[in-house]
Amino acid sequence: MAAGIPADRIVFSGVGKTADEMRLALEHGIFQFNLESEPEAEMLSQVALSMGKRAPVAYRINPDVDAGTHAKISTGKSENKFGIPYDRALESYAAARDLPGLDVQGVAVHIGSQLTDLAPLEAAFTKVGALITALREAGHDIRTADLGGGLGVPYDPSQPLPPSPADYGAMVCRVTQAWPVRLMFEPGRVIVGNAGALLSRVVRVKQGAKAPFVIVDAAMNDLLRPSLYDAWHDIRAVAPSGKQAAANVVGPVCETGDTFAMGRDMDVVEAGDLVAFMTAGAYGATMAGTYNSRPLTPEVLVSGDRWAVVRARPPIETLIEGDSIPDWLAD
C-alpha cells in the first residue's frame, strides 16, 4: 500500500499470518485472505469479529501436483507446508462457512516457482475447476479463483525456452472458460526476472587445481540463489575479450557455499574487469542480506540513457549502530 497499490487489489497469502498482520489487513480493507489452515481460519474469524468485520477469504488448496521445479521452490505437493489437502477441501470449506467472521468467496492455488512446463499447472487448475463445481453444488458462493504465479524465465541460454506468457494464457483460457468466477494471477519472476542484473568487479584470478578461481566482489549475501538451491545465472564480461575458458566464479565470503559457478565456460576476465550476473531481477536484491558484515549493494534504475540510484549502499556503520551492550554485561 505504501507503494501505491490499492488495498482492494491486495491478496494476503502465507502460512504464518499473525493476529497483528490480520488486524492491519482488515483495517485497510484488502481484497482477500488466502487461508492456509483451519486454525488460521478460526484465528482470522476471531480477529475480524473483534473489529466488527467479516474477512473475505479463500482457501489455498494443495493439489498434490509435482511442479517439476527445484524441491525448495515446489509448493503444491502433499509434503509441502502450503495450503489444505485437496481431499479435505469440502470439509474445510464447510467449517469455514460456519465461522461468523469469514466471508468465504474463493479458491486459491500456487504449486511452485520457475515452472518450465505447463502440464503441472494445467493439472492443478483442472483440480481447482472440479473443486469450484463441487463447492457451488454444496451451496458455497465461490466468486474468485486465485491461480497464483510460477511461470519460469530463461536463465541458462543452452536450455529450451520456458513457455511464453501467451502460451500460459491460452492454456488458462481453455481450462477455465466455463468457470463462473473472477480469475486472479500473481506473476512475479516472469515480469522482473530479466529486468535486472548484478554487476560485480573481479578482485583477482587465482589458479585452481582444475580451473582458475575468478574471485569477484559480489558474494552469496548479494545473490543467494546459486548457494541456496544451485541456481544458474549466466555470467558475462561487461567488455568481453572474445576469449572463453572454464572458470570457477566465487565470492569473498568465508565459506565454500559462496560459489556462483564451477567449471563454467565463460568470458576470460582479469582483475578489475566488470562481470554481470544476468536475470537477477527476481529473488536477487529482495533476498540479499548483510552476512559477513557486508552492506547491501546499491540498486540502480536504468531507462535508456537515463539512470538513478534508487537504493543507496548503506554506510558500514549501519551494521553496528543498532547494537547495544546492556549495563549488566558491561559491569
Catalytic positions, please? 254
- Which residues, 6+ apart, have CB-to-CB distance to 309 below 8 Å? 298, 299, 300, 301
What is the helix (H) or strand (E) element at residue 294, kind and residue range? none
Burial bucket for residue 81 (CB in 10 Å: 0-12, 13-18, 19+): exposed
- CA atoms of 282 and 223, how far apart (whole Å): 10
How far apart are the C-alpha atoms of 320 and 318, rounded to whole Å?
A: 5
Distance CA 237, CA 277 (A): 9
Q: d(Cα 193, Cα 260) in Å, to the nearest integer?
A: 17
Sheet holding 259-267, edge to edge: 235-237, 274-277, 198-206, 213-216, 244-250, 259-267
| Cβ proximity of 147 and 125 under 8 Å | yes
- Torsion of the alpha carbons at 10, 13, 19 and 20, rounded to the nearest 10: -50
Cell numbers at 3, concatenated: 507503494
Where are the extended beta strands (E) located within the chain?
A: 11-12, 32-35, 55-62, 84-85, 102-108, 144-146, 182-184, 198-206, 213-216, 235-237, 244-250, 259-267, 274-277, 299-303, 306-311
